[in-house]
Structure 1
Amino acid sequence: MNRLHPLSAVSMALQRGVTGFSMPFFVVMILSSFVDAVDIGWVFWLAPVGLVVGIAYGVAYYYRFTYHATSSTFDVTSGVLSRRSREIPYRRIQNVDVSQNLFQRILGLAVVSIETAGGGQTEATLNYVSEDEADRLRSEIRRLTAKTDAGIDRDEPTATAATDATDDTGESTQRERPRAERGPVLLFDLEVRELVIYALTSFRWGAAVFPIMLLFFLQGADSGSGPVPEFLLLAAEPFGGPEAVDSAAVGQLLVLSAVTVIQWTAATYVASAIYTVANYYGFQLGRTGDDFVYERGLVQRYSGSIPAEKVQSVTITENPLQRLVGYAGLWVETAGYGPDSGGGNQSAVPLAGADRVYRFAENLTGVETPGFRSPPGLARRRYLGRYSIVAAVIVAVAFGLAQVSTFDRWYLSPVVFVAVPPAAHLKYVNLGYFVGEDHLVIRRGFWKRRTTVVPYYRIQTVSTRRSIFQRRLGLASLVVDTASSRTFSWGTPTIYDVDLETARELQGTGRERLQSALRERARRDDLGLSVDFT
């Protein structure tokens, strides 16, 4: 059995000690407000007791936490008051990630996270081990996972590569070195220019939390400005905003809100660019044996492995700015763990030339160059009606505001109908699907266009979905589900608004080719099993 790094005991003791020290303050203060028997003075003796108990718990947790890599499972035992033992089969392991923040890198520590197929949550986390131990664990788990997937007995020799060596007589001879011990073959290296373009053409709404935190900070620093910081009022004043919120009219408040939203969006864009640079600085993707390995990050350093056998699908992403400059990104998805789940570490190519990315996707999956089929013209008519309803709602809202405020130019709002035809057209032309011999390729989306390549043998279910409006037009959508967690954050790959008969044909074709692909894989792997796919 192995233990964590000794500094883990120090870290856990400090964390638990601070928690134990601070909890009495909150508990006693709350209880003293409702229960007369509780004296606020209890804090002065409960807090030191909590500190000691917390430190003792952190040290005990360190000594009670052990891990061990066996021939078939990775075992983790933890818990102080209640013991928890986990045996993680290697066949279930999807990813082994190693992360280091700046402080951990200075101390030579790392956090190892083991992800499994089961919803994207971390199955086991080792806080902390040395850098050498993290590399050893990642290599060992990767080797044992590959052997388990290949059905190789532990005592059998691993795949090797010939290297030159000298024997005792000085003569050159050949010796075998395990393939897992060789360095990874570099597949992709994110250049500085590509990183800058990626930062400038990406927008992450999650970065909005940073300007919000800054807003609260500025508001606290300038408490005399009232509920709204002074700089927001000054920015909105030239456009008809109020000098003060208390005496502002409804129209002035609307101007203030609009200017604030614009400022917040701009600040979010800047924060998103900074986050992208810090997160993907030094990104490299390589291959070791049957695994993809990656490394990235400026302050927080991430590295890990993605077993090629576990890849469920491959998705190419492009937003309008990236398409304008001819760039795209590529993401891979594994069962229960996707690029936008917990760690978000599944980018194969964050950004590169679109032609280069498409070639990489074809080489990675073996898919033939797709010739996309578009939905029928009725789909464009449906989108025209959908966006017309949205435009009508905007006009109605503008008219309503005119009735309760000084906003008297609501009659300009119908100009939004001008955007309806191009919006419907762009929605339509960015949809498409391709039914290949071994893969199904689905393209959808304008603001974030995604082209997903799904091998037939990775498909879990194929189902037809129809809304009320689709039934009126004789249309249907085909939902293709895999075991990937990407479906939780991006939506399940779907072929939208095809004819009902076409959807049924595609569903039948997908089912037949899924069965054929499974039979072929069973024969190729020589499993010795008799399987009836009916």
Structure 2
Amino acid sequence: MSSMNRLHPFSAVTYSLRYAFLGLWLPLFLVGALASVFEPIQGSWTVVAAPLGFLLGLSYGVAYYYRFGYQITEDTVDVASGVFARRSREIPYGRIQNVDIRQGVVQRLLGVAVVSIETAGGGTTEATLSVVGEDEADRLQAEIRRRTAGVKERRQEQDREHAPESDANVDPESQPDAEPDRQPAAGTDGPAGAETDPDAVTADSSSDAGRPTSESTARPSPQQRRRRLFELADTELLLYAFTTFRPAAGAAGLFLFFFATDAVLEAFLAAAAPFGGPQDLASGDAGSYGILTIVSGLISVGVTYLLSVAYTFAMYYDFQLGRIGDDFVYDRGLLQRYSGSIPAEKVQSVTVTDNPLQRLLGYAGLWVETAGYGPDSDAGSQSAVPLAARDRIYTFAENLTGVETPSFESPSPIARRRYAVRYSLLAAAIVAVAFGLSYATPLERWYLAAVVFVAVPPAAHLRYTHLGYFVGDDHLVIRSGFWRRRTTVIPYYRIQTVSTRRSIFQRRLGLASLVVDTASSRSFVWSSSTIYDIALEDARDVHGASRDHLQTALRERKAADDLGVSVDFT
């Protein structure tokens, strides 16, 4: 333990306060709960139990700080923690996905940061160093990235040494083109639309970038070897904030309502009064309460939208994407600053997203999914380009993956009728609810709810027209969604499983859905990429073609030693 590094002294303060307040409130809760059940226990015991718990928690926090250590070794990142139950972790560099640096407002003022080490083993953080100094955080990020690149390079050398002689003796000119011109040469301008820093040195101009060196060898700083790929302009940031709605922002609204219930209700009553709302909650009729409900709902949606705008603006303020070696690196955030990396070799798929308003304005976003994490994961490192002009985004996606321009196939026309029936049943359910409310409330014109049937045909049409798929030579491209349309490019060699699913209704109509899984984790919002409601024969053809292309792509990629994506995608 003596050879391990300790966290910043500020960690002792944070750990001590965290466990001290836990030790303060836990006795209050336990004594109060037990006193109501067991007569010998008195509530006055909290006068002694609470201060004692506070001191015990304070002591435990200090002990936790002194018992926590980390170390960068030749092969692993070692982390030891725990006061009574010790836990020692050795994280191999080959398993490390990325190293993220996070700074809140207070942490930035104090010059400290939280370092999170993510691996490809799942959706949780493998190790968190909370907190270290800013310089130490940058050193750890650069050192781990350098050693991770060294492990990868040594593995590639071993693969080349053990490659069969038949592969080594093949005429290179007879092999498929490995796209040597996908990365621009050092000192030249990249493809159209590239945004490069003239003062930055590209990784191509430094042949030992990412190569392991001795500890005594001087290393250039990460910023000296960083090449800028994309920077979110102020207008794009504002447009992204105002065209993105995050329902999770409603949690902040509920928090405000919980702590200021009376003030919020008074505001709702004052806003509804000019439209016929009740003067107070105790007096009023069904009509005035209905007006109050409508006005309150509109205000709640408006407040949630404004909170969403503020959250998005703060999260993606000063967004910058660059590259160091074979890693995409990013920085973003206003109140809380994030810095991390997206390893190119870990990229599973690339997704272009847009919503109706962004499509109307001609904009879209570009997201990537990496092994173990999906676009909306807690790691927060998956947005390659939050928002840019649509043509530019498509160019980025093509340059990043090398995918050919897709020509989408539409689902079976029977699917359109299926969606019309589905939405008709939903509309009928809404009318039935309105009819039921007419017996419990003064609602009389319940039949006006039948107006929702007008939306059924356009809803079914829009869902159908935004579905499509493309079976390319090297990639499978899947498009779906109207409110948030997703166009996902999946290299065949990244496919884990392809499954054909058929519900009882699809079996009757001769339809099937094809679910394509990669190694990335999924969230509630982002599910597995799915080709919906295509003819059964087409599903079987795509299934078989994906399996054949997968085997071919794996052989070609191993022979070409290709990352699969271009790190100079702009």
Q: How far 1:394 sits from its partner (Å)?
A: 1.5
User: Which whole-Å deviations, capped at 9, do the CAs of 1:199-228 have from their partners, x for residues lacking one?
Assistant: 1100000000122222233324x5xxxxx8
Corresponding residue for 2:349?
A: 313
Specify which of 517, 528, 546 is matched with residue 481 of structure 1: 517
Q: How far 1:46 sits from its partner (Å)?
A: 2.1
Q: How far 1:57 sits from its partner (Å)?
A: 0.9
**Stretch deviating more after TM superposition (138-147 or 239-248):** 239-248
Query: Could you tell me whether the CA contact under 8 Å between 1:147 and 1:153 is conserved in 2?
Result: no
Corresponding residue for 2:407?
A: 371
Specify which of 222, 237, 255 is matched with residue 213 of structure 1: 255
Specify which of 67, 75, 80 is matched with residue 77 of structure 1: 80
Distance 1:180 1:265 in 2: 43
User: Which whole-Å deviations, capped at 9, do the CAs of 1:172-214 have from their partners, x for residues lacking one?
Assistant: xxx9976967331111101110111011100000000122222
Q: Secondary structure at the match of 1:122?
A: coil
Corresponding residue for 1:122?
A: 125
Distance 1:412 1:28 in 2: 57
Specify which of 373, 381, 385 is matched with residue 345 of structure 1: 381
Q: How far 1:249 sits from its partner (Å)?
A: 4.3
1:452 and 2:488 are equivalent in the alignment: yes
Distance 1:136 1:417 in 2: 61
Corresponding residue for 2:437?
A: 401
Q: How far 1:400 sits from its partner (Å)?
A: 2.0
Instruction: Note the residue ranges of structure 1 that are not aligned, 5 or more in a row.
Output: 164-174, 223-227, 527-534
**Stretch deviating more after TM superposition (370-379 or 140-149):** 140-149
Corresponding residue for 1:167?
A: none
User: Which whole-Å deviations, capped at 9, do the CAs of 1:294-348 have from their partners, x for residues lacking one?
Assistant: 0001010100111110111111110111111111111111111223112323211
Corresponding residue for 1:261?
A: 297
1:192 partner letter: D
2:431 partner letter: V
1:382 and 2:418 are equivalent in the alignment: yes
Specify which of 148, 152, 155 is matched with residue 149 of structure 1: 152
Q: Secondary structure at the match of 2:144?
A: helix
1:29 partner letter: G
Distance 1:508 1:354 in 2: 33
1:91 partner letter: G
1:47 and 2:83 are equivalent in the alignment: no
Distance 2:350 2:396 in 1: 11
> Aligned ranges for residues 515-526 of structure 1 at < 5 Å?
515-525=551-561
Corresponding residue for 1:335?
A: 371
Under a length normalisation based on structure 2, what TM-score does the superposition of the two structures give? 0.85
CA RMSD of aligned residues (A): 2.3
Q: Secondary structure at the match of 1:22?
A: helix
Distance 1:469 1:491 in 2: 21
Under a length normalisation based on structure 1, what TM-score does the superposition of the two structures give? 0.90
Distance 2:206 2:453 in 1: 69
Query: Could you tell me whether the CA contact under 8 Å between 1:162 and 1:176 is conserved in 2?
Result: no
Distance 2:518 2:76 in 1: 25
1:428 and 2:447 are equivalent in the alignment: no
1:120 partner letter: G
Distance 1:218 1:4 in 2: 39
1:369 partner letter: T
Q: How far 1:395 sits from its partner (Å)?
A: 1.6
Q: Which has the higher strand share?
A: 1
2:118 partner letter: E
Corresponding residue for 1:273?
A: 309
Corresponding residue for 2:104?
A: 101
Corresponding residue for 2:187?
A: none
Query: Could you tell me whether the CA contact under 8 Å between 1:21 and 1:47 is conserved in 2?
Result: yes
Going from structure 1 to structure 2, the CA distance change for 1:474 and 1:153 (only over 3 Å counts) comes to closer
Q: Secondary structure at the match of 1:68?
A: strand
Going from structure 1 to structure 2, the CA distance change for 1:233 and 1:275 (only over 3 Å counts) comes to same
User: Which whole-Å deviations, capped at 9, do the CAs of 1:358-415 have from their partners, x for residues lacking one?
Assistant: 1111111111111111112111111111111111112222222223322122222222
Specify which of 31, 35, 40 is matched with residue 32 of structure 1: 35
Query: Could you tell me whether the CA contact under 8 Å between 1:311 and 1:333 is conserved in 2?
Result: yes
Distance 1:403 1:48 in 2: 58
Corresponding residue for 1:140?
A: 143
Q: How far 1:465 sits from its partner (Å)?
A: 0.6
Going from structure 1 to structure 2, the CA distance change for 1:162 and 1:282 (only over 3 Å counts) comes to closer
1:58 partner letter: G
Q: Secondary structure at the match of 1:121?
A: coil
Specify which of 507, 516, 536 is matched with residue 471 of structure 1: 507
Going from structure 1 to structure 2, the CA distance change for 1:176 and 1:77 (only over 3 Å counts) comes to closer
Specify which of 310, 320, 323 is matched with residue 287 of structure 1: 323
User: Which whole-Å deviations, capped at 9, do the CAs of 1:483-522 have from their partners, x for residues lacking one?
Assistant: 1113554110000010000000000011111111112223
Specify which of 187, 192, 200 is matched with residue 242 of structure 2: 200
Specify which of 225, 228, 244 is matched with residue 183 of structure 1: 225
Aligned sequence identity (%): 62
**Stretch deviating more after TM superposition (391-400 or 426-435):** 391-400
User: Which whole-Å deviations, capped at 9, do the CAs of 1:43-96 have from their partners, x for residues lacking one?
Assistant: 222222222211211111111111112222211111000100111122221121
Instruction: Note the residue ranges of structure 2 that are not aligned, 5 or more in a row.
Output: 158-202, 208-216, 563-570
User: Which whole-Å deviations, capped at 9, do the CAs of 1:470-495 have from their partners, x for residues lacking one?
Assistant: 11111100000011113554110000
Query: Could you tell me whether the CA contact under 8 Å between 1:475 and 1:498 is conserved in 2?
Result: yes
